[in-house]
Structure 1
C-alpha cells in the first residue's frame, strides 16, 4: 500500500480535482482572513492610540476630521437654542463623523463572519465528496480493503481540516476584534461628548453666526 503523507501539501497533491478546488478555495479564504485580521487589528490599535492622545489633550491626525466637524457645528449659532440643545447638536454632528471612522475601521469584519460560517460547509462538501470517492473505489474494485478506501478518506478528512483552518481564525478574529472595536467606539463616544462640552464652554464669547451664513 502506498504511504499517505499527512502534510498539507501532500494531501493536496493526492486529492482529486474536486478536492483540490475545495482546498484551494479554503486556502485562499484563510489567507484573506489573516490579511483582514492584521489590517483591522492595526487600524483598531491606531484608533485606540488616537483616542488616548485626544483624551490627554494631544491632537491626533486620525481624529482630525471628527474634531473638525465638532468645531464646525460649534460655530453655528441657532437663534433660541439652549446650551443643552446646542451641546446635543454638536454631539450628534460629531457622532456621525465618528461613526464613519468606526465603519471604515471595521470594514473587514463582516467578511470574517462570512468565512467563519461558510468555510466549514465548504469543507464538509469536500468531506462528502471524498467519502463518495471511496465508495466508488469500492464499487469498481469490489474490495473493501484499506488500500482502496484510504485515499478517499484522506481527501475527505483533509477537506475538513482545511475548512476548520479557515473558519477557526476567522471566528476568533471576528469576536476579538469586534469586542476591541466596541470598546474603542465607547471611548470615542465619551471623547466626543467631552469635546462637545469643551466647545460649548469655549466658544460662547464668539459672535453668533446664523445657520444660513454657515452653509
Structure 2
C-alpha cells in the first residue's frame, strides 16, 4: 500500500491484498450466477403462470375430459403444471374405475394420491434454486464484511510501522476494504428482492394448483358415484 494509490475502483482492487482481491472476485462470481438464476427463474415462473391460465381456460370451456387427455398426451408431449396434475389424476381415475371390485371411495383415494404426487413434483420444479438466492442474500454481506475487516486491519498494521500517520496514507486502504462490503451488498440486495418476489409468485401458483386439484377431485367424485 502506498500513498499514491489510484483512487478508482480498478486501482483500489489492484492495490488490495490477495485475500481481499479473492473475496471481491468471489462476490463478483456469486453475483453473476445469482443474476443468471434470477432471469432463469423469472422465465420459468412466467411460463408456469401462463400455461396454467391457458390450461384452465381450456379445461373450463366444457371440453370432454377424455378428449383433453388425448390432446395433452398426443405426440409424447411433456405435461407441465396443471396439465401434469390433470393427466395424473385422470389416468389413475380411469385405471381404478375399470378394475372390478374397486369402490368409488378407493377410486377417489388413489386418484387424489396420484394428483398429490404430481402436485409435489411440479412445485419442487418451481422451487428449484430458490434456496441459492436465499443463501446469497444472507451470506454475501458477511463475506464482504470479512474482506473489509481484513483490509482495514492490514491498513492499521501498515500504519504501525510509520512515525506519523496521515489521512492520505490510511484513506486508500480503508477505501479498498470498503469495496468488499459494497460488493457483498451488490450481490445480496438483488438476490433478497428476487427471492421474496419469486416466493410470493410461487405461493400464488401453488394456490392455483391446490384449487384446481380440489375442483377436479370434485368433478371426478361425481363421476365415480354416477
Shorter-normalised TM-score: what interval?
0.7 to 0.9
2:117 matches 1:116: no
- Judge conservation of contact 1:130–1:153 (CA < 8 Å) in 2: yes
The partner residue of 2:157 within 110, 114, 136 is: 136
- Does structure 1 conserve the Cα–Cα contact (< 8 Å) formed by 2:5 and 2:11? no
Partner of 1:56: 57
1:71 and 2:90 correspond: yes
Give how far 1:10 is off.
3.6
User: Cα offset for 1:158?
Assistant: 0.3
- How has the CA–CA distance of structure 1 residues 10 and 197 changed in structure 2, closer, same or farther, with 3 Å as cutoff? farther
Quote the residue 2:38 is aligned against. 37
Name the SS for the 1:62 alignment partner.
coil
The alignment status of 1:168 with 2:189, answered yes or no, reads yes
Q: Once the 2 structures are TM-superposed, how far is the Cα of residue 67 of structure 1 from its aligned partner?
A: 2.3
Residue equivalent to 2:205: 184
SS of the aligned residue for 2:160 comes to helix
CA distance in 1, matches of 2:164, 2:154: 14
Aligned to 1:152: 173
Equivalent residue, structure 1, for 2:119:
98
Name the SS for the 1:141 alignment partner.
coil
Give, in angstroms, the shift of residue 106 of structure 1.
1.4
| Post-superposition CA distance 1:83-116 (Å, at most 9, x none) | 5x64454233212112211111211100011111
- Match in the other structure for 2:65: none
What is the number of equivalent residue pairs in this alignment?
A: 203
Task: Verify the 8 A CA contact 1:119 1:163 in the aligned structure 2.
Answer: yes
* TM score, norm. by length of structure 2: 0.80
Query: Which runs of 5 or more structure 2 residues have no equivalent in the other structure?
Result: 60-67, 73-78
Q: What is residue 211 of structure 1 aligned with on the other side?
A: none
How big is each residue's C-alpha offset from its partner over 1:45-93, in whole Å with a ceiling of 9 and x where there is no partner?
Answer: 111111111211167742343322112221113746345x644542332
SS, match of residue 58 in structure 2: coil
Q: In the alignment, is the contact (CA less than 8 A) between 1:51 and 1:191 conserved in 2?
A: no
- 1:204 Cα deviation from its structure 2 partner: 6.3
CA contact (8 A) 1:27 1:162 kept: yes
Displacement after TM superposition at 1:19 (Å): 1.0
Matches of 1:192 and 1:6, distance apart in 2:
58
How far the C-alpha of 1:184 sits from its partner, in A, is 0.5
Asked if the contact 2:13/2:21 (under 8 Å) is kept, the reply is yes
1:81 is the counterpart of 2:108:
no
Structure 1 runs not aligned, ≥5 long: 206-215
Structure 1 CA distance for aligned equivalents of residues 137 and 216 of structure 2: 39
